[in-house]
Amino acid sequence: MESNGIAGKHGLEGDSDLLFLLTGGDLLKVRSNSWKKTRFYKLQEDCKTVWHESHKPLKSKQTCECLSSPPKFSLDDIEAVRAGRQSEGFQKYTEEQVEGRCFSIIFKGRRKNLDLIASSEEEAKQWVTALEKVISNMRNLNCQQKSEHWIFNCMRKADKNSDSKMSLKELKHFLHQVNVEVDDDYAEMLFEKCDRSKSGYLEGKEIEHFYNLLTTREEIDVIYGQYATTGGQMSSTDLLNFLLKEQREAASVDDALKLIEKYEVDDTAKEKQHMSKDGFLMYLHQAEGMIFNPEHKEVYQDMSKPLNHYFISSSHNTYLMEDQLKGPSSTEAYIRALMKSCRCVELDCWDGSEGEPVIYHGYTLTSKILFKDVIKAIKEYAFKTSEYPVILSLENHCSVEQQKLLAQHMTSILGSALLTTPLGDQMPTNFPSPEDLKGRYLIKGKRLNKLDAFYTAENDVEDDSVSEDDEAAEEEEDKEKEKTKLKLAKELSDIVIYCKSVHFNGFEDARDNRAFYEMSSFKEGKAMKLAEESANAYVRHNVDKLSRTYPAGSRTDSSNYNPVPLWDTGCQIVALNFQTPSKEMDLNQGRFLPNGMSGYILKPAYLRDEASDFDPITLTKGDWLQHKLLHIMVISAQQLPKLNKKKKSIVDPLVRVEIYGVPADKAEKETPNINNNGFNPMWNEQFQFDVYVPELAMVRFVVEDHDSTSQNDLIGQYTLPFTSLQNGYRHVPLLTKNGDIIPSAGLFVHIMALDAQ
């Protein structure tokens, strides 16, 4: 299996960083003040798994740390590698002088991070550089390579005695690894077909032949065959025909030639300016062949409109890693949200016992973190994935003394990036734009007076109380605690510029008596009621003002509400529990997928017009009605993962297509399930949907493992806005419930979005 090495090493043959990881070395693992132990870490030969062992002699079961099966983790499980003492564990259990020798491995999902100390700063740097290089290389493998990489890995696992030959038994094991169940007769037939030398083993070319049999995509053969009319291959004209007729793209011969140049794998075909079947499959697996419009991967919308004209990706209880009764609070939760382009984070601030304000969920058992540590983490990660402004939503329960510290920490740590005065030299009448505010932080909180105070000598204090319109202040049991109303520190009030929190007293009051920068927060129940009963009034309110909605305090498990009806009425800051994997978070990820994943999406024109008659529920006539017929054919899926590695069972997949948007557009349809085939199931099922308001519609593809006795399990999903769909034959990537891409899996579909007659 010569290809094995290339696939396994991500094309990094002979690379010094890769060799460093394959050799491995001793690192000090830190868990607490008393638990710091040396472990030997190394990358396995598969170049995908890291394992470690302790150096203890094998004495008894108690003293051995799983020597029989050393703990290991896959590079796929790593979210990030961070140099220095950035984790909370390091901050707590180590001294500053070891800073340069420390690094942390942060895992996806809820697995605890791994804090490690190297013997020198150079060695720590080498671990970080080498891990980042191999991980990034693995992530950048194109889909075709990923698929081969995946298959070769499974083949290696199946080759139990590592003799580069495969027996019938190993072949069956391999088929199980790649999620295909075949009966014994079929396995033998496939084996005999490939065992041309009749040796009872497959090796070299025979394994390649077997690989080809496995990777044949009949559905692609048929499509290719229809258009490959030039000596059995696609000429640039054939490819152009395909792009125009099937993909419905405004393409030219030049575009076809560019695709051949970019993706053709056979040099002879490339010289003739032809595309072979392999090249065609390669193209279909790239951005150009995906369902998501590649032009929307960059910032493509106008970013110079006022801030309130955008949907803004927003998080609630950002500090929590899990539930809101006893879950851990962590700066890591802020980092994760910001790295997912979240642009509005929440800080619940309380008096800390050591004179330093802390963040946690008040009156609960959630752990506490220092406010200043959170601000440091925000400064470090705020603009790594998006350069557009971040709003810090303060829920302030601090005494005046500690409020002064809140203001001091924000101004000293965030420096000039913190907005402390309005932009321009005269009183603004509207919000600045995301473009104007690039790289800036805005504070949302209470303010003692109007913004005009910056431009006049008047300094009238309107309201010096601090209680926020958020859960802690609204819940019955807190009435006692709120009796002593807290006063607001001038230092904190002064840095609240464009997001002044005020109580909502109805749309009329907001329109007549509130300035544009005065905004209200709505608990989900109140917000949903307004969206159902006064939708158009809510739409108009959100043309002029910012609105923030947040989950009810009764959601102690940190579950989420459906954000769609609130987006439909123009609410900009629809805050969700980012730490909780859910359909609602899938929708949020899909909503903010386009526009360069900047965390800002320009609202449709009818949600930005002061005289708008738009009502998502009654849908009277207007520009928003652009009735489309959406035809979706679910053709096939590839390499769906097994849900439980230990189980013998193979998945029985089905696909459901769901449409979200205004109530008239909500719909779902699903295919039958296919028994025992996660490797290449074929459905060829056609669905048709009516979409009346495409600019607000979202399309979600869900793949589930059918279970007749209990609830189906999610295999993967992908959500994107209707307006970002590409027509034609497209691959759909699949994400896990945590929103991470499943490297080799995907759906193959045909999409046609047409104007309804």
C-alpha–C-alpha distance, residues 676 and 686, integer Å: 22
Q: Is 45 annotated as a binding residue?
A: yes
Q: Is the same domain home to 203 and 261?
A: no
Task: Categorize the per-residue pLDDT at 723 as very low, low, confident or very high, splitting at 50, 70 and 90.
Answer: very high
Domain region containing 731:
628-755
Q: Which helix (H) or strand (E) holds 158?
A: helix 143-158
What is residue 215's predicted lDDT score, i.e. its pLDDT? Answer: 67
Point out the domain boundary residue: 191, 215, 239: 215
31 marked among binding-site residues: yes
Among 43-47, 219-223, 530-534, 712-716, which is the least confidently predicted range?
A: 43-47
**Is residue 300 domain-resident?**
no
Flag whether 600 is in a domain. yes
316 is catalytic: yes
Tell me if 513 is assigned to a ligand binding site. Answer: no
pLDDT at 44: 87
Q: What is the pLDDT of residue 186?
A: 52
User: Rounded mean pLDDT of 196-212?
Assistant: 78
Q: Look at residue 648 in the predicted model and tell me its pLDDT.
A: 59
pLDDT at 340: 94
- Catalytic: which of 149, 285, 296, 361? 361
Mean pLDDT of the 3-10 span = 42
329 lies in some domain: yes
| Residue 64, domain CATH | 2.30.29.30
Mind listing the pLDDT tens digit for each residue in 172-195? 777 666 655 554 555 676 788 888
707 is in an annotated binding site: yes
> Tell me: the pLDDT tens digits for 502-561?
999 999 999 999 999 999 999 999 999 999 999 999 999 999 999 999 999 889 888 999
Which are the contacts of 499, defined by CB distance < 8 A and separation ≥ 6?
391, 393, 442, 443, 444, 445, 517, 519, 546
Q: Annotated binding residue at 32?
A: yes
**CA–CA dist 714, 704 (Å, integer):** 5
Instruction: Write the CATH number for 596.
Output: 3.20.20.190
Pairing assessment for the beta strands 344-350 and 390-396 based on DSSP bridges = parallel
76 exposed, middle or buried (CB, 10 Å; 0-12, 13-18, 19+)?
middle
255 and 128 in a common domain? no
| Residue 302, in any domain of the structure | no
Task: Calculate mean pLDDT across residues 291-317.
Answer: 97
- Consult the annotation and say whether 444 binds a ligand: yes
**Domain final residue pick, 140, 171, 190:** 140
E strand residue ranges, 419-513: 441-445, 499-501
pLDDT of residue 15: 84
**In-domain check, residue 295:** no
DSSP 8-state code for residue 101: G
Residues 342 and 414 placed together within one structural domain of the fold: yes
Q: Does pLDDT of 18 surpass 60?
A: yes
Q: Token pair of 349, please?
A: 């601030």
Helix/strand/coil for 301: coil
Q: Indicate whether 651 and 598 sit together in one domain.
A: no
51 is in an annotated binding site: yes
Neighbours of 33 (CB within 10 A): 9
**Is 561 in the same domain as 418?**
yes
Which percentage of the chain shows pLDDT scores above 90? Answer: 65
Residue 666 among known ligand-binding residues: no
Residue 462 has pLDDT above 70, yes or no: no
Tell me, what's the pLDDT at 537?
97
Helix residue ranges, H only, 470-601: 471-474, 479-482, 490-493, 507-513, 524-533, 535-544, 564-568, 583-591
Tell whether 613 is in a known binding site.
Answer: no
Q: State yes or no: is 361 an active-site residue.
A: yes
Residue 461: predicted pLDDT? 65
Q: Looking at residue 137, what is its pLDDT?
A: 83
Residue 127 scores a pLDDT above 80: yes
pLDDT at position 82: 93
532 labeled part of a ligand binding site: no
pLDDT band at 158 (very low <50, low <70, confident <90, very high): low
Q: Provide Rg for the chain, Cα atoms.
A: 29
Are 126 and 148 part of one and the same domain? no
- Reported as a single tens digit per residue, the pLDDT across 253-278 is 999 999 999 988 788 899 999 999 98
Would you say 39 is a known binding-site residue? Answer: yes
Query: Would the annotation count 10 as a binding residue?
Result: no
Q: State mean pLDDT over 16-35.
A: 93
Q: If pLDDT is split at 50, 70 and 90, which confidence band does 64 have?
A: very low
Q: Is residue 455 part of a domain?
A: no
- Number of structural domains (the chain) is 5
Higher pLDDT, 55 or 94: 94
Same domain, 362 and 278: no
Q: What is the pTM of this model?
A: 0.84
Contacts of 496 (CB under 8 A, 6+ apart): 443, 444, 445, 446, 447
> Residues 559, 675: one domain?
no
The answer on pLDDT for 208 being more than 60 is yes
- Reading the block at residue 680, the tokens are 């290449």
Phi-psi region of 137 (alpha: psi -120 to 50; beta: other; left: phi over 0): alpha
* Alpha carbons 296 and 597: distance in angstroms, whole number: 9
Report the CATH number that the domain containing residue 682 is assigned in CATH. 2.60.40.150
At residue 282, does pLDDT exceed 80? yes
CATH number, domain containing residue 177: 1.10.238.10
Residue 411's pLDDT band (cuts 50, 70, 90): very high
Please indicate if the annotation marks 111 as binding a ligand. Answer: no
| 141-145, 315-319, 332-336, 509-513, range with the lowest pLDDT | 141-145
Q: E strands within 543-585?
A: 547-550, 573-576
Check the annotation: does 446 bind a ligand: yes
In a domain, 296, yes or no: no
> In this predicted structure, what is the pLDDT of residue 312?
98
Distance CA 475, CA 362 (A): 12
Say if residue 521 carries a ligand binding annotation: yes
Is 52 annotated for ligand binding?
A: yes
How do residues 550-601 score in pLDDT, each as one tens digit? 999 889 888 999 999 999 999 999 999 999 999 999 999 999 999 999 999 9
Q: How high is the pLDDT of residue 470?
A: 52
| Interstrand relation of 369-370 and 234-235 (parallel, antiparallel or unpaired) | unpaired
Q: Are residues 207 and 183 in the same domain?
A: yes
| Catalytic option among 274, 316, 397, 731 | 316
Residue 55 assigned to a binding site: yes
State yes or no: 548 annotated in a binding site. Answer: yes
From 140, 165, 196, the end of a domain falls on 140
Average pLDDT of the chain to the nearest whole number? 87
Please report which confidence band the pLDDT of residue 327 belongs to, taking 50, 70 and 90 as the band edges. confident
pLDDT tens readout for residues 630-674: 999 999 998 888 787 555 567 899 999 999 999 999 999 999 999
**pLDDT the model gives residue 590:** 97
Name the band, by pLDDT with cuts 50, 70 and 90, for residue 305: very high
Look at residue 728 and tell me if it is in a domain: yes
HSE (side-chain half, CA atoms, 13 Å) at 324 = 26
Q: Do residues 274 and 420 both lie within one domain?
A: no
Say what the pLDDT of residue 5 is. 38
Cα-Cα end-to-end distance for the chain: 56
Are both 496 and 573 inside the same structural domain?
yes
Report how far residue 139's alpha carbon sits from residue 433's, in angstroms, rounded to the nearest whole number: 34
40 is in an annotated binding site: yes
Are 207 and 225 found together in one domain? Answer: no
Residue 464: pLDDT over 70:
no
Question: Is 346 labelled as part of a ligand binding site?
Answer: yes
Q: Compute the residue count for the chain.
A: 757
Res 3: pLDDT: 36
